[in-house]
Chains A and B, each alone.
Chain A
Amino acid sequence: MSAAPITGGDVPALPRGVRLQFNQVRGQWFLQGPERVFEPDEIAVEILKRIDGVRTVDAIARELAVEFAAPEAEIAVDVAAFVAELLAIRMLERREAGP
């Protein structure tokens, strides 16, 4: 839970008590935590779906760069900023990178 800046090697994860779900009734994705309901946009959903406690920030950016045919460096900056924002409000946590 350090306030160290996000690096490409960081591994973000959804902690227990935070859920990413597609709601069938509303036909929409939601990211939920205690007293919090976020409606992530399309790009945010694509990032969140890849946050699994295994992939690094760099790996997520690489996949999205391929998927959306966009420059990887730019996407990496966006992903890191997105992750940092959610870390600060405890909607994500940082996992130790695997061996």
Chain B
Amino acid sequence: MKTPPPAPPVALLAELTHRCVLKCPYCSNPLELERRSAELDTATWLRVIDEAAALGVLQISFSGGEPMLRPDIAALVARAVERGLYTNLITSGVGFSPEALERVAQAGLDHVQLSVQGVEDAAADHVAGHGGSAAQKRRLAAEIARLGLRLTVNAVVHRGNVDQIPALVRMAEDWGAARVEIAHVQYYGWAVANRGRLMPTRVQVDQAIADLASERARTAGRLVIDAVTPDYYASYPKPCMGGWGAQNINVTPSGRALPCHAAETIPHLVFDNVRDRPLAEIWRDSAAFNAYRGTDWMAEPCRSCERRERDFGGCRCQALLFAGNAAATDPACSLSPLHDTLLAVAQRDSAPDGGAYAYRGYARP
């Protein structure tokens, strides 16, 4: 039986490099960071951008690591603009000059997402593992405003800063952001290694949810606030994108095509490389993309659950982490037999421990 080809992907996440000046302990990059020598060259990225547009991709996010560390960033943005893609730059704001951003803006960039680690410089720099980073972000924010670029401020929140949500939103407003993303840490990779220092308490999470609601009410009509929800204390998991292999392609610095940025944590998946296969073929035929497409792969309780098309059984990576099986129900779901285990881990890891962060870097923690 032949299955119909999947609908085209909506977004391409182009992880141009894993290099980054900052060392955030919750970084979504894998523990084994790819080195500069393994990175795709400009010509290959240009081809990937062409192939993405031809496939029907609408948005491209240039990410990393720090994408501004690639000398060809303006050329890549220019090509994406030329091909009609909506272009996002996802940046830490550190390690490059504001003038470099001007060249990218002139190439036609639509939107900058600037990450922040907190509202007080010393505390923020501590999380980033880099002195002076908060001040540099402020300077970049001023440059973004001067260039008239659309700005999203992205704040990853965890035990150390989750109490600052109202202050973070105000800071974003001061910087002229049109959108704020409050993203609770998602636990895979580096964040798992640091879970005991990052996990918020249940009281903190409840307060964060209340703060988010009041900030949305306060800024309604002038600011869009999106949130990545904390799922460890929830009854249902967060939805896996719009379904696995349904909307997104993620290409790593060395060209591996992933259904999601954390997919490499699932050891049995085999990923194709854009050096070897056209993007359209990967999207349609790659085993990794087909592994959890649709709902046929599901077991109970997801299989017969009425929410299965809404959350797609939650996160495959989290299922693997706790159940040892990526096809299991996400243990963040109260219907999972492992839900209590997950809750116990959250409670244990949210206790104050005073340990030091295992900072992201080329040596594993």
Q: List residues of A whose CB falls within 8 A of some B CB.
A: 1, 3, 15-19, 21, 23-26, 30, 32-35, 37, 87-90
CB contact list, B91-116 vs A, under 8 A: 110-111, 113
Q: List residues of B whose CB falls within 8 A of some A CB.
A: 8, 10, 53-56, 58-59, 84, 86, 88, 110-111, 113, 148-150, 152, 178-179, 181, 220-224, 226
Q: A17-B111, A34-B178 are in contact. Are A23 and B149 (CB under 8 A)?
A: no
In the complex, are the beta carbons of A90 and B86 less than 8 A apart?
no
Residue of B nearest to A19 (CB): B86
Task: Tell me the bound Cα distance from A90 to B56 in angstroms.
Answer: 25
Number of A-B contacts (CB under 8 A): 62
CB distance from B4 to the nearest CB of A (A): 16
Task: Tell me the bound Cα distance from A18 to B224 in angstroms.
Answer: 14
- Could you list some 20 contacts between A and B, CB below 8 A? A1-B221, A17-B178, A18-B150, A19-B86, A21-B84, A25-B8, A25-B54, A25-B56, A26-B8, A30-B58, A32-B58, A32-B110, A34-B88, A34-B113, A34-B150, A34-B179, A35-B226, A37-B10, A90-B178, A90-B224
Closest 4 CB pairs of A and B: A17-B150, A25-B56, A90-B178, A32-B86
Q: A25-B54, A25-B55 are in contact. Are A16 and B148 (CB under 8 A)?
A: yes
Contacts of B224 in A (CB 8 A): 89-90
Q: A23-B56, A35-B226, A88-B220 are in contact. Are A17 and B110 (CB under 8 A)?
A: yes
In the complex, are the beta carbons of A34 and B152 less than 8 A apart?
yes
CB distance from B50 to the nearest CB of A (A): 12
Task: Tell me the bound Cα distance from A89 to B221 in angstroms.
Answer: 6
Task: Tell me the bound Cα distance from A36 to B196 in angstroms.
Answer: 34
